[in-house]
Structure 1
Amino acid sequence: MLAGELMCGICGKLNFNREKFVESALIRRMMDMIQHRGPDGHGEFLSGPVGLGHRRLSIIDLDTGKQPMSNEDGTVWVVYNGEIYNFQELRIELEGRGHQFKSTTDTEVIVHLYEELGDQCVTRFRGMFAFALWDERRKHLLLARDRVGVKPLYYTNTGKSLLFASEIKSLLVDSDVERRVNLRAIDRFLTYYYLPGNETLFESIFKLEPGHYLSVQDGQISVHQYWNLRFEIPSRPRRFDEAVDVLQTLLSRTVKDHMISDVPVGVLLSGGVDSTGVLSHAVQHTDKPIHTFTMGFSGANFQDERPYAKVASQKFGTVHHEISMSADDFRDFLPKYAWHMEEPVCEPPAIALYFVSRLARESSVKVLLSGEGGDEAFAGYQTYRNLLILEKLKSAFGPAKGVLRLGFQALGYTGWKRIGNYASLVNPTLAEYYLSRTATPYTPFNQYKPELYNEDMSAFLDDQASGDISRRLFEQMNSQALLNRMLYVDTKTWLPDDLLVKADKMTMATSVELRVPLLDYRVLEFAASLPLHYKANGWELKRILKAALVKSVPQEILNRKKTGFPVPYDSWMRKDMKDFVSDTMLAINAASDLYFCKEAIANLLQAHQQGKGCSKEVFSLLVFELWHRQFVSASLQSFESAR
């Protein structure tokens, strides 16, 4: 029996007036907007006031996995995007209760488990998913999203109907959906460089948050949380060596689950510990060749991850593929980046992900495994270590904190910007330090943001708290240790609303499925149950994960300094793309003129050219301009033709 089914796109509409029927033409237009998510086929279900649409990318059960799919008597229908990795166990349980299956897909498990448990069926699924289920008898709509937020799901309430889709652009084809810009969200985006929480840049469109489900009954919409990450360390935790053994077994099982496919599977190699660790387990669970993919950059003096990726490829005997991206490639793709991301996320590595995913698709690989999530689960970011050390120093200095602050400021001037940012805060709370890592007003944007907005925006934004989301999450975790508080906030914000939205949108833009074994919720819950020093101990980060991989990951990878994925966009924007950036952002009647002062933008560009930092700020405003042109300024006709 096969596990899993397919990646795809879903969409639909429910009219609150049961006498008003959903038109097939609308569902088809919604499906057409997300054709890239499922080029292998489509299907729809229409029943009076409800319509469901599905675009199909075949991965498993290529013949019998068509959607929408129903139960035996056609009273429960589902459209679904994702993989449910424990579906075999659930199927055995459901067959024991008399349910009959007509396919080998995980999709059918959803409808039958719903028949048993109603909306609470979501609590039993292990995997990545977004689905919409219609109960014909109860006239009940259920939308659900996986625990971590690997797969996206958006919705809007027009007052007359509720619409939902895997991507925002699918919602916008309905003329009842307004494109009114969420002004508060602009400021939040320029604070975080992405949009945490349930808001989007459209006032009327929302994200269904990870670990939540939405139900509609008799026109009443309610949203419920069914999962939250909890840091509960047992009173008698496992010894470190025992915990390492448990983690090794858990990683092996999780990667094995993510390997099941009827099409070739590949691994994205970044040259780091997490992706190499995933590969080390993947090769143990297949007798087929594994393809690996990595990216480099054209030009001199750019950091190159390819040598490390090649080390991993040679050790594990993969079929290795490399691609190089140039400044021209980066620039030319930016309009499509804005189109596919749908919100102006400041994530230049996403563009590299698109190109390497396209290479995989051209190599006939439809499924890619990634090491995403290891840092958030096991404390891999240097920021965690820095704040832990700084807090210890503050406690040690006691009354002499003023001297310590001067020392931190001196380090800031020498290039230790994050420590310098922290030093600039007066009696900072931990939540404020969280913001100081990347967000304004603690980055170089601090010098320009007060002058950036025009009068109308400035008046509107008075007393608006752009950083309230992370502050609220920190407060919810007040009883927890500092490290766990940071891990929790990143798992609830940075991970789903930046890293995972990038991972989904860029791979699906190339019709490739991305799987993230390290974000199986069992892995996250295991990591959350560990003593703090198993994760971060002094200068050592991801201690237990590295211990679990020490025998399989090459030492030059295991011991190298963490670099992330260093796309040289700062250099490109100052040199190769200088005219493009300036012409776009300072254009006559630029879309950003509605919100920003052109003189302030010109000053920001000048500071960037002078090497004063600001690359994230410039990139953020650049993609905002491109986003606005396509999603707000464009006519409906040009909007739909852009796909």
Structure 2
Amino acid sequence: MCGFVSVYQKYGQPVQKQEIERMTEQIHHRGPDDTHFFIDEHIGLGFKRLSIIDLAHGRQPLCNEDGTVWIVFNGEIYNYKELQQWLKDKGHQFRTNSDTETIVHLYEEVGFDTPKYLRGMFAFTIWDMKNQYYFGARDHFGIKPLYYTETPRGFFFASEIKCLLELEDVSPEVNVPSLYQYLTFQYNPYTETFFKGIHKILPGHCFLIQNNHLDIRPYWHVHFEPDESKPLSYYIEQTRAILENSVQYHRQADVPLGAFLSSGVDSSTTAGLLRKHGPLKTFSIGFAVGQNELPYARRTAEHFATEHYELEVTPQMFIDHLPQIIWYMDEPLADPAAIPLYFVSKLAREHVTVVLSGEGADEFFGGYKIYREPNALRPFAYMPQGLRKMLGNIASNLPDGIKGRNYIIRGSKSLQERFFGNAFIFSEDLKREILTNWVNQQTQHLHPIDITAPIYARASEYDDVTKMQYLDIHTWLPGDILLKADKMSMANSLELRVPFLDKEVFEVARKIPTKYKIAGGTTKYVLREAMKDLLPKEIHMRPKLGFPVPTRHWLRNEFYLWAIEILSTSQIDQYINKRLAIQMLSDHKEGKADHSRKLWTILCFALWHQIYIEKQALHDLNNVTISKIS
């Protein structure tokens, strides 16, 4: 696990060593164990290493035998030993036992098909001197990030955006369409980031630069293929077997491993399967206010007999670290669960270097409660479209809080009209109110459907629940879940592995019929049944809660003055109607409405703007937050 930067100068200009050193230093937290560079005239590779496998010899950038193929790589390849043996049988000579060198020789053998062979999480760039190819890829599901920008002088790639902001010809500028869609999704769903001109390589995509031309294309596609011919017992057995296999593969490391543990099925499954292989350290986070996960996690830790560590996060801790967390995140992300993820990573890093976690189980096995909605709204499917629309209009005119109002409104809409993913923060009407006239003019032709419609079109053959999974795998999973998982763990120099997000696990999950995913009055039924004998009874059928962060309470109490300060001092007047935002905060404090998610979305953008656009020092922002909460 590590971070890298990768430079391709278009017209043969030599790479500026000071620039690539400056870029690489921005991600010291991703790899504090080693720093190394390779420069070949117009090509530059910079690397920060967190040593996990082959501690003595796994240094990067790394090359083949004759020094003609060079790589920088972030991630872990879990099937590298099988690939290594296959390549040795074909005559390749290895100098290390690292998964990185395996990718190099695999590229020599299969070329641009390399990522198709890899089982793991990865982002890499390869410089092929002989063919003058500059090739790279990102893993199937987007576990590891890969950003890039093009300037008149070249192409630049990096594990984090902040590296690219060190370029002399790049200056941070707000990408207004990203802000517009962020207010809906709580993350940026575009391939272009919040910084104009800086982009993401999408999951399952690779790129090739040849003759100064960048070509990006998919090497893999998500495809569901439910098989109704098999009984429930078959899928239970297959799920249990593949998850045991995946956890076994994800154990590969030359350093200590641990596991995150919440009150849910996903992390409990991961911890339980890992515990079968020996002693295990587990880590949990909770809050004193609201739903506290710690007692449930503690019970699960006792059930598995792990060495358990836990931390209760206070409002002061939360707000003190928030500016630094926003800096680590690179882009605004209004998911409050990112903050406890930062703290549990910090706790775990005191004891281990690698943790396993449960991300991806909900998207693969149908775990979100909203996936039950198509069944709940089934009566509307038998109504004529005109009647559904009329009922929706009537319900929309009813006062908020009337029982059944939201049910009728949602039932009156098609899936494409009502489901944009697991987060839906601002409606279009309220979004236009909270944004300034200038932004509205810039984005007048935009709509969230612009993001989701092409994805729904590719999923047209699926039932509604599978369409929702397909949408979430392409948007919510990389845009929110994996973004915070990577950034918050690497902020603490901790490698986070996700055994559910394995291509072999997906091969099993994609064939499970919906009737076995949403069944028994609950979600991810097959997974629950597969783990029935492993998990404590109170966890086995426990409903999914997400991570209950008490921002609703804190914004009415401990965070109120801090929020006023951020909204008042941040220079976001060009984008946000501050008067309305402050009024929403006041209404929230007085209990007139629950605006917590909307306010958190605005506050995260305001803080990000202060850090990256206004360039306020993190020290100054911390001083503000401390003075306001104490």
TM-score interval w.r.t. the shorter chain?
Answer: over 0.9
The equivalent of 2:339 in structure 1 is: 351
What is the rounded CA distance, in whole Å, between the counterparts of 1:182 and 1:147 in structure 2? Answer: 26
Q: Shift of the alpha carbon at 1:284?
A: 1.6
Query: What is the SS of the residue equivalent to 1:586?
Result: helix
What is the rounded CA distance, in whole Å, between the counterparts of 2:576 and 2:393 in structure 1? Answer: 35
| Cα distance, 1:66–1:600 mapped onto 2, change above 3 Å | same
| Cα distance, 1:191–1:467 mapped onto 2, change above 3 Å | farther
Matched, 1:495 2:487: no
Question: Identity over the aligned pairs, expressed in percent?
Answer: 38
Matched, 1:175 2:155: no
Query: What is the SS of the residue equivalent to 1:592?
Result: coil
Please tell me the residue identity of whatever aligns with 1:393: P
Moved more, 490-499 or 21-30: 21-30
User: Matches of residues 62-77 of structure 1 in structure 2 within 5 Å?
Assistant: 62-77=55-70
What is the rounded CA distance, in whole Å, between the counterparts of 2:402 and 2:547 in structure 1? Answer: 20
Q: Shift of the alpha carbon at 1:367?
A: 0.6
What is the rounded CA distance, in whole Å, between the counterparts of 1:248 and 1:110 in structure 2? Answer: 30
Retained in 1: the 8 A contact 2:2–2:30?
yes
Please tell me the residue identity of whatever aligns with 1:8: C
The equivalent of 1:59 in structure 2 is: 52
Picking from 365, 369, 380, the partner of 1:378 is: 365
Retained in 2: the 8 A contact 1:80–1:107?
yes
| Cα distance, 1:410–1:586 mapped onto 2, change above 3 Å | same
Retained in 1: the 8 A contact 2:185–2:423?
yes
The equivalent of 1:454 in structure 2 is: 436
Q: Shift of the alpha carbon at 1:450?
A: 2.4
Retained in 1: the 8 A contact 2:425–2:598?
no
User: What 5-or-longer segments of structure 1 have no aligned partner?
Assistant: 1-6
What is the rounded CA distance, in whole Å, between the counterparts of 1:136 and 1:65 in structure 2? Answer: 22
Q: Shift of the alpha carbon at 1:607?
A: 2.5
What is the rounded CA distance, in whole Å, between the counterparts of 2:256 and 2:621 in structure 1? Answer: 31
| Cα distance, 1:77–1:420 mapped onto 2, change above 3 Å | farther
The equivalent of 1:479 in structure 2 is: 461
| Cα distance, 1:213–1:420 mapped onto 2, change above 3 Å | farther
Query: What is the SS of the residue equivalent to 2:50?
Result: strand
What is the rounded CA distance, in whole Å, between the counterparts of 1:437 and 1:313 in structure 2? Answer: 29
What is the rounded CA distance, in whole Å, between the counterparts of 2:447 and 2:400 in structure 1? Answer: 29
The equivalent of 1:3 in structure 2 is: none
The equivalent of 1:245 in structure 2 is: 237
Structure 1-normalised TM-score? 0.92
What is the rounded CA distance, in whole Å, between the counterparts of 1:209 and 1:215 in structure 2? Answer: 14
What is the rounded CA distance, in whole Å, between the counterparts of 1:186 and 1:422 in structure 2? Answer: 29
Q: Shift of the alpha carbon at 1:352?
A: 0.5
| Cα distance, 1:407–1:154 mapped onto 2, change above 3 Å | same
User: What 5-or-longer segments of structure 2 have no aligned partner?
Assistant: 623-630
The equivalent of 1:340 in structure 2 is: 328
Query: What is the SS of the residue equivalent to 2:545?
Result: coil
What is the rounded CA distance, in whole Å, between the counterparts of 1:336 and 1:467 in structure 2? Answer: 33
Matched, 1:620 2:594: no
User: Matches of residues 213-362 of structure 1 in structure 2 within 5 Å?
Assistant: 213-234=206-227, 237-285=229-277, 287=278, 289-299=279-289, 302-362=290-350
What is the rounded CA distance, in whole Å, between the counterparts of 1:406 and 1:343 in structure 2? Answer: 37
Picking from 398, 404, 408, the partner of 1:423 is: 408
CA deviations on 1:300-326 (whole Å, 9 max, x unpaired) are: xx2111111111111111000010101
What is the rounded CA distance, in whole Å, between the counterparts of 1:502 and 1:411 in structure 2? Answer: 38
The equivalent of 1:8 in structure 2 is: 2
Picking from 74, 77, 81, the partner of 2:74 is: 81
The equivalent of 1:569 in structure 2 is: 551
The equivalent of 1:4 in structure 2 is: none
Q: Shift of the alpha carbon at 1:154?
A: 0.3
The equivalent of 2:563 in structure 1 is: 581
Retained in 2: the 8 A contact 1:370–1:517?
yes
| Cα distance, 1:204–1:640 mapped onto 2, change above 3 Å | farther
| Cα distance, 1:259–1:412 mapped onto 2, change above 3 Å | farther
The equivalent of 1:192 in structure 2 is: 185
| Cα distance, 1:597–1:404 mapped onto 2, change above 3 Å | closer
| Cα distance, 1:34–1:420 mapped onto 2, change above 3 Å | farther
What is the rounded CA distance, in whole Å, between the counterparts of 1:52 and 1:436 in structure 2? Answer: 37
The equivalent of 2:577 in structure 1 is: 597
Query: What is the SS of the residue equivalent to 1:55?
Result: strand
Picking from 23, 47, 66, the partner of 1:30 is: 23
Retained in 2: the 8 A contact 1:372–1:516?
yes
What is the rounded CA distance, in whole Å, between the counterparts of 2:105 and 2:269 in structure 1? Answer: 36
Please tell me the residue identity of whatever aligns with 1:240: L
Moved more, 523-532 or 149-158: 523-532
Q: Shift of the alpha carbon at 1:465?
A: 2.4
The equivalent of 2:628 in structure 1 is: none
Q: Shift of the alpha carbon at 1:403?
A: 9.0
Q: Shift of the alpha carbon at 1:557?
A: 0.7
Retained in 1: the 8 A contact 2:61–2:71?
yes
The equivalent of 1:126 in structure 2 is: 119
Please tell me the residue identity of whatever aligns with 2:413: P
Retained in 1: the 8 A contact 2:269–2:534?
yes
The equivalent of 2:625 in structure 1 is: none
Please tell me the residue identity of whatever aligns with 1:449: K
Q: Shift of the alpha carbon at 1:428?
A: 2.0
| Cα distance, 1:113–1:511 mapped onto 2, change above 3 Å | same
Retained in 1: the 8 A contact 2:272–2:534?
yes
Please tell me the residue identity of whatever aligns with 2:45: L
CA deviations on 1:114-155 (whole Å, 9 max, x unpaired) are: 111111111110100011111111221112100000000100
What is the rounded CA distance, in whole Å, between the counterparts of 1:607 and 1:641 in structure 2? Answer: 29
Matched, 1:17 2:3: no
What is the rounded CA distance, in whole Å, between the counterparts of 1:437 and 1:247 in structure 2? Answer: 24
What is the rounded CA distance, in whole Å, between the counterparts of 1:407 and 1:559 in structure 2? Answer: 38
What is the rounded CA distance, in whole Å, between the counterparts of 1:435 and 1:239 in structure 2? Answer: 32
Q: Shift of the alpha carbon at 1:454?
A: 2.0
CA deviations on 1:553-589 (whole Å, 9 max, x unpaired) are: 11101122221110111211220011000111122xx
Retained in 2: the 8 A contact 1:448–1:600?
no
Q: Shift of the alpha carbon at 1:439?
A: 2.0
Picking from 22, 36, 40, the partner of 1:47 is: 40
The equivalent of 1:113 in structure 2 is: 106
The equivalent of 1:148 in structure 2 is: 141
Please tell me the residue identity of whatever aligns with 1:112: H
Query: What is the SS of the residue equivalent to 2:66?
Result: coil
Compute the RMSD of aligned alpha carbons. 2.3
What is the rounded CA distance, in whole Å, between the counterparts of 2:564 and 2:17 in structure 1? Answer: 44
The equivalent of 1:531 in structure 2 is: 513
| Cα distance, 1:215–1:519 mapped onto 2, change above 3 Å | same
Q: Shift of the alpha carbon at 1:538?
A: 6.1
Please tell me the residue identity of whatever aligns with 1:30: M
CA deviations on 1:393-432 (whole Å, 9 max, x unpaired) are: 113455864797599879995588xx75463369523112
Q: Shift of the alpha carbon at 1:537?
A: 2.3
